[in-house]
Structure 1
Amino acid sequence: MTAVSGDKELITTTLEEIIITEKDRLLRFIKERNDYIRNLPEIEKKAFIESIGKIKENKGKIERLLLKKEIKRGIDDLLFSFEELPLFGKEYWFMKFTATDGSRRQFFLTFGRSAGDIEVNGKYVENSRIIDDKTEGYCVSWAYDGIQRSIADDLGTIEVKNERVTCMSKDIKAEFYGSFPEYMLDISKNGEKICFLDIKEPTDNNYNSEVSEQFRGLFGYRLANLYFDFEGVLFEKGFSGKCYAQKVIVVGPFIPWKWSRIVFRNGSILTYYIPNVEIGGVEYNIYNSLDFYDAETRRMYRFKKAKVNEYPSEKGDKRWIITAEGGKVFMVTKSYCKETFSFTNNFSFRYVENLVDVVDFQVETEDRVITLQETGNGLGMVEDTSGFVI
């Protein structure tokens, strides 16, 4: 489950008009939201607006958090806290671990909550209330370790206390704790330890973390990202590589997006993020970004006009072709397993996590051409989403 990156958002007036005119479900949602807020008693209306303000207050504070000397406090403040979620608010933690030893091993943990009732994978999650540092939520964890393994997919309790966030379901207990720049993840299932990972800042501290926010009116997000290294044990075997840990607060609906994070064996990383809406069978991008981090030179390259085309296969191993800026980026990925999730609240949202290998890859920079020969094999995840949910 990840979802947002960076602090730029491009929404044209033309696109907004198309959405309002033709996207009936989104129009209905906007109207219902406006009517709901307008008809609230004055005291509740004031409380709702103030709750939004608490999340996006003090723009200067966020800007200060981006400074190196304040990054520790800023990231830990988000990782180890609950927000007072307003209407349409969501809060979740997402962690992705990818091996860099040439294997296909990957591991995922996601848990979170919503301000309103929601059905996740057929299980009903009631509006969460924070009592004694705890609240109700949902937990999903799975891995590929030579075979696909399901670890958790159930209702759970989330606790945040003393620089530690703990998620407990009927089968597992997952604890994430520490302080910037060193953390631990400890997971046990039915009393047996299955995962113990030491998560640390990589040597290149220019590409390891970020804190950002973006709000437009009463909608937006606030997030903390960690791009760290890890090593430890998974299913009684050594496990090390690249970690992506994220804490996000979202106020607003989920709309479809395309997102992928690919880790290459030499430590290079490619990520793209393209949220979009589909109208009459045509997709309209709201935002478009593709970043490539070259581990050899420790430089970040950003590309525009990223395009993602997917091609189903009779065998089920779907392929994606990714390009950007007229061919400066070319990558082909192929899936080897997947997990599917559904979210329902008046509307339905489908979310698929596809684990992929990189079949072909090339990036042109101003002074060199980088291929799989330089980076080594790549693997990661492609998120495939559709629908709409409040």
Structure 2
Amino acid sequence: MIDINRIKRIWGTYSLVRKLSAINGPNVSKTLLDRVMYSSEALPLLGKEYWWFLFFGQDGEKPVQLMLLIFRKHGKKMLFNNKEMVLRNLGKNKFQAVTAGWVYDGKRLHDLGDTNAIVRIQEKSIVSEISGQKMILCGGFPDYRLKVGDTIDLNIKKANYLEDKDACGVFIPPFGMGWVDIFSDVDGIVLGRKFKGTSHLQKVVGATIFGPFHWGRIIFQNSSVASFFCLKTGKDSKKYFRRSLTFYDHENNEIIRFDNPKLKISKRKGATFLWIVKGKDKDKDFRIVLETYARKQFVMKGGGSQVYVEYAVTPRELSLKTRDRAITLDDLGKGVGTFEDAYW
């Protein structure tokens, strides 16, 4: 029997992706941010939905960094890091999914575990658990609180960035993904120690196959930000598409966007593991060398497969040249960020 209500809900998911794709930038309302963050959508075939929370510390040669993930997809089950996870809808804004996370404390990485958890979404909160610890995100843009048992307790506040939020998407029916990002300052307690730094909250929903990509975001001491993204045709492919490269020059209050950049991303193994990112368009040239200091891998199987590797990184070198000026790491101060390497 055809479930008309489910078809309507799936159509609503596609409508949301189309709406986010039409914005494709920072002009997103608080109402829409909260609506996307605090709801679960009906997932079509190849559908995926996840909440991804990332935090960078400010101090030390290897700053504290932590990540939390809530992930669900279309289907009844999946393998996540070789553990079978049951995926179930349990009513409106209640479902069984995967929760995972890690903390790098400045010296070593602590795995918070992979849990087949129940997730409940209410008007202004997401409640779940990870390895027996209650996990809750609550609040609304721009003020949130995130708590994980006695391990993590963070207050998330408005930051002074050139862009502190966005809504984006790609919609090519029957495929499409939409997402919102919230960039903030944060302080609180992590592993019993005071923590201060920056926060990136993201919610993603849509329908697409798993695929290879690179993504990175680096925040510098003077609040400037570099970000880049590309899809690839294979794990080791150098053919990139859906390329983007943006530098947010906080000191000069300028956003430098590369127009359909030519990207070249390579890795170098040695005493330290490096990622090297080069980007170029008709009048701009960018190069950054990222030194990795922590690594966490997730392997997902079921309805396709994906290996997703996160690297905690600090910039060793940076050069940005435009028609009228040049920027180096000396101008920006130290930085910290994440580099993602995902492949089939």
Give the TM-score normalised by structure 2.
0.90
Equivalent of 1:115 in 64, 71, 74: 74
Aligned residues, how many?
336
Question: Residues 335-366 of structure 1: CA distance to partner in whole angstroms, max 9, x if unpaired?
Answer: 11101110111543211111112111111233
Mark the CA change 1:171 to 1:332 in structure 2 (over 3 Å): closer, same or farther. Answer: same
Equivalent of 2:97 in 104, 128, 137: 137
In the other structure, the counterpart of 1:124 is 84
Which range moved further: 206-215 or 289-298? 206-215
Q: Distance in 2 between matches of 1:129 and 1:335?
A: 38
Q: Distance in 1 between matches of 2:315 and 2:66?
A: 18
Equivalent of 1:86 in 18, 26, 44: 44
> What do you get for the CA RMSD once the two structures are aligned?
2.4
In the other structure, the counterpart of 1:332 is 289
Is residue 98 of structure 1 aligned with residue 59 of structure 2? Answer: no
Is residue 355 of structure 1 aligned with residue 315 of structure 2? Answer: no
Superposition map of 1:175-254 within 5 A: 175-188=136-149, 193-204=150-161, 206-254=162-210
% same residue: 26
Question: Residues 243-268 of structure 1: CA distance to partner in whole angstroms, max 9, x if unpaired?
Answer: 11100002111100011111112211
**Conserved 8 A contact 1:350-1:386:** yes
In the other structure, the counterpart of 1:158 is 119
- Indicate the SS of the match to 1:270: strand
What is the deviation of 1:223? 1.0
**Conserved 8 A contact 2:157-2:184:** yes
What is the deviation of 1:66? 7.0
**Conserved 8 A contact 2:287-2:320:** yes
- Indicate the SS of the match to 1:83: coil
- Whichever structure has more helix as a proportion of its residues is 1
Question: Residues 278-300 of structure 1: CA distance to partner in whole angstroms, max 9, x if unpaired?
Answer: 29x64432211111111212221
In the other structure, the counterpart of 2:321 is 364
**Conserved 8 A contact 2:26-2:164:** no
What is the deviation of 1:161? 0.8
The amino acid of 2:278's aligned partner reads T
**Conserved 8 A contact 1:356-1:380:** yes
Superposition map of 1:216-295 within 5 A: 216-278=172-234, 282-295=237-250
Question: Residues 160-219 of structure 1: CA distance to partner in whole angstroms, max 9, x if unpaired?
Answer: 01210112134222111101111111111xxxx121111112134x40101233211111
**Conserved 8 A contact 1:184-1:199:** yes
**Structure ID, larger Rg:** 1
The amino acid of 1:290's aligned partner reads L
**Conserved 8 A contact 1:95-1:246:** yes
**Conserved 8 A contact 2:17-2:176:** no
Give unpaired runs (5+ residues) of structure 1: 1-40
Give the TM-score normalised by structure 1.
0.80
In the other structure, the counterpart of 1:173 is 134
Give unpaired runs (5+ residues) of structure 2: none
The amino acid of 1:79's aligned partner reads M
The amino acid of 1:353's aligned partner reads E
Question: Residues 30-84 of structure 1: CA distance to partner in whole angstroms, max 9, x if unpaired?
Answer: xxxxxxxxxxx7x36x77764442112278965589785x611000001001111
Q: Distance in 2 between matches of 1:61 and 1:379?
A: 32
Mark the CA change 1:319 to 1:217 in structure 2 (over 3 Å): closer, same or farther. Answer: same
Question: Residues 289-327 of structure 1: CA distance to partner in whole angstroms, max 9, x if unpaired?
Answer: 1111112122211121122111233x5x32111111177
What is the deviation of 1:133? 3.7
Q: Distance in 2 between matches of 1:345 and 1:221?
A: 19
- Whichever structure has more strand as a proportion of its residues is 2
Q: Distance in 1 between matches of 2:47 and 2:299?
A: 18
